[in-house]
């Protein structure tokens, strides 16, 4: 697990308009952080019948499905705590769907989480949790 204050991407702060803006800002921040960790971004917001995959990337030859969780505060728990067993099941099924659709069932893969805490007057805290979700769909 890596945790760091991340350099701000070109958009310094999320717009003050709601969760959707925060989510978009969080995904941009996550992509910037993943690139600094050596990940190659393959696609974003890949939709499957089981749900959406925020980011699909490659890291050291493995396909990595990345769930991004962003929070303004921890009143309702940390961003990482938002990955419930139900969400984990959806991620596993969505990952399997992606692998089948792209003919990559034989490749190594994993699910990571990027947890981002937004701080209004400071750089965000970005935590990368590798192999955050385990199991089989």
> Which tokens go with 125?
């805290």
What does pLDDT average to over the chain? 85
The mean per-residue pLDDT over the stretch 20-35 comes to 92
Whether 67 has a pLDDT exceeding 60, the answer reads yes
CA atoms of 92 and 119, how far apart (whole Å): 31
Who has greater pLDDT, 82 or 85?
85
- The whole-number pLDDT of residue 137 equals 55
Q: Where are the alpha helices (DSSP H) in 1-137?
A: 18-36, 85-101
101: left (phi over 0), alpha (psi -120 to 50) or beta: alpha
Whether 5 has a pLDDT exceeding 70, the answer reads no
> Which tokens go with 30?
């996550």
Fold of 2-133: Trna Endonuclease; Chain: A, domain 1 (3.40.1350)
Q: Percentage of residues in the chain with pLDDT exceeding 70? A: 80
- The whole-number pLDDT of residue 83 equals 80
List phi, psi (to 5°) of 53: -100, 120
Enumerate the β-bridge partners of residue 115: 69, 127
Tally of CA atoms within 13 A in the half-sphere of 90 that contains its CB = 15
Residue with tokens 């003919």: 103
Neighbours of 45 (CB within 10 A): 10
């Amino acid at each position: 697990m890596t945790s760091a204050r991340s350099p701000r991407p070109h958009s310094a702060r999320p717009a003050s308009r709601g969760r959707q803006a925060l989510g978009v800002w969080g995904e941009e921040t996550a992509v910037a952080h993943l690139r600094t960790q050596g990940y190659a971004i393959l696609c974003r917001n890949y939709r499957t019948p089981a749900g959406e995959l925020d980011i699909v990337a490659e890291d050291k030859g493995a396909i990595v499905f990345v769930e991004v969780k962003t929070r303004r505060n921890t009143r309702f728990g940390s961003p990482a705590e938002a990955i419930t067993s139900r969400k984990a099941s959806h991620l596993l099924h969505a990952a399997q769907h992606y692998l089948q659709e792209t003919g990559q069932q034989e490749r190594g893969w994993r699910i990571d989480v990027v947890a981002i805490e937004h701080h209004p007057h400071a750089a965000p805290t970005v935590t990368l949790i590798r192999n955050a979700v385990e199991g089989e769909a």
